[in-house]
Amino acid sequence: MGIVTAISLWFIPVLIAVILLYGTYKQVPTYESFVEGGKEGIKIAVSIIPFLVGMLVAISVFRASGALEYFMGFLKPTLEAVGVPPEIAPLAIIRPISGTAALGMTSDLMAQHGPDSYIGRLAATLQGSTDTTFYVLTVYFGAVGIKKMGDALKVGLLADLVGIIAAIVVVTIVFGY
């Protein structure tokens, strides 16, 4: 485990050093290139603001009104039928929609059931193995101006479902119920 932690600690600084040294070796005007690339970063960050504001306001309204909770009530029996424990069902539903809400729920589940319980471990695995599909979709497609997303949302959400099922199966096998 120590090796993995060390890698994640060293990765970025070493990567930066390698890029800078290699760039110098290849006679790239490093500082000028850095500034050039950085300018693009500002453009992108500013251009995604409207996309995120629109999406986050819609999601916040949906959540604050109680509608999310209501619809979760409908989805819960379906998820439970597939084998999702009732405590985990809300997290499984919210994970693709809101990253911050999911993170809050994960901490809450750990506080309630303990981090080393079945539920706690399952929540942790779920949180770590899937991503906020709506956020990724909004930011990536928003930044480059994609209006027709095709099958992207369907594919993303179905992949999340696979991830949820995989997390449940793996945690049950590794740690037992």
Partner 1 sequence: MVNIIWVCLTVIGILFAMVNGTMSEVNEAIFSGAKEAVTLCIGLISILVFWLGMMKIAEEAGLLNKLSNLFKPIITRLFPEIPHNHPAMGYILSNMMANMFGLGNAATPLGIKAMEEMKKINGGKSEASRSMITFLAINTSSITLIPTTVIAIRMNYNSASPTDIVGPTLIATICSSIGAILIDRFFYYRRSRKG
Range 27-56, binding partner 1 (CB under 8 A): 28, 30, 33-42, 44-46, 48-49, 52-56
State yes or no: residue 120 binds partner 1 (CB under 8 A): yes
Annotate 66-89 with DSSP letters as a single string: THHHHHHHHHHHHHHHHT--TTTH
State yes or no: residue 177 binds partner 1 (CB under 8 A): no
**How far is the C-alpha of 150 from the C-alpha of 145, rounded, in Å?**
14
**Cβ pair 173, 116 in contact under 8 A:** no
Task: Count other C-beta atoms under 10 Å from residue 56's C-beta.
Answer: 15
Least CB distance from residue 52 to partner 1, whole Å? 4
Range 57-96, binding partner 1 (CB under 8 A): 57-67, 70, 96
State yes or no: residue 167 binds partner 1 (CB under 8 A): yes
**How far is the C-alpha of 93 from the C-alpha of 75, rounded, in Å?**
8
Least CB distance from residue 80 to partner 1, whole Å? 19
Q: Assign 156 to helix, strand or coil.
A: helix
State yes or no: residue 101 binds partner 1 (CB under 8 A): no
Q: One symbol per residue from 2 to 31: x for binding partner 1 (CB under 8 A), - otherwise; what is it?
A: --xx-xx--xx---x-xxx-xx-xx-x-x-
Put residue 28 in one of left, alpha, beta given phi > 0 → left and psi -120 to 50 → alpha: beta
Kindly tell me which of 89 and 105 has the beta carbon lying closer to partner 1: 105
Least CB distance from residue 84 to partner 1, whole Å? 14
Return the residue of 77, 82, 83, 140 that touches partner 1, per CB under 8 A.
Answer: 140
Task: Count other C-beta atoms under 10 Å from residue 98's C-beta.
Answer: 21
